[in-house]
Chain A
Amino acid sequence: EAGVTQSPTHLIKTRGQQATLRCSPISGHTSVYWYQQALGLGLQFLLWYDEGEERNRGNFPPRFSGRQFPNYSSELNVNALELEDSALYLCASSLGISRPQHFGDGTRLSIL
């Protein structure tokens, strides 16, 4: 079974630009989660999507947004990039509520 896949592996942007990160969940998983792993800060919950709807959101500004498509894949969009947005962005998927989350390899976003 294919795991959670994320693209791109590495993304380099400059301040003020917009970034789009993509995630494909494990087949059959309907929930997708996004996390930010900044250096020294551990994992911070960003967003949870289930069945195409945003179900919960972490303490991030509105310039962090996303969506889930009918095939359950997901995009994370970050607008007006700032230097502190540099981090590893991890996507996870699960079968449903309270089921274990399975993580992708992440996208390393670097802001110059």
Chain B
Amino acid sequence: AQSVTQLDSQVPVFEEAPVELRCNYSSSVSVYLFWYVQYPNQGLQLLLKYLSGSTLVKGINGFEAEFNKSQTSFHLRKPSVHISDTAEYFCAVTPAHNNDMRFGAGTRLTVKP
């Protein structure tokens, strides 16, 4: 079965600094990849997804991610973060043929003033 590893459990960063949240996946079949954001006491909200085509995917709130098949990675980036980006971020993977979605353990992004 497919799996996801988020390499950093916590990422503290100052406001307006760039950030990268790392995600590696494992699968024996073609996959789709996702990043979700979870604000306190809320459900998960889709940030962006990679299904096919261009390996650079742009999402909401200025986030982007790059699919790297050779490195089996899907790192999330933002060139300049805001206080409001403080949240938990989850990387997820699903086989291309079904919706068996597996999530990573999450990365808590804390943006400091």
Q: Do A and B make up one complex?
A: no
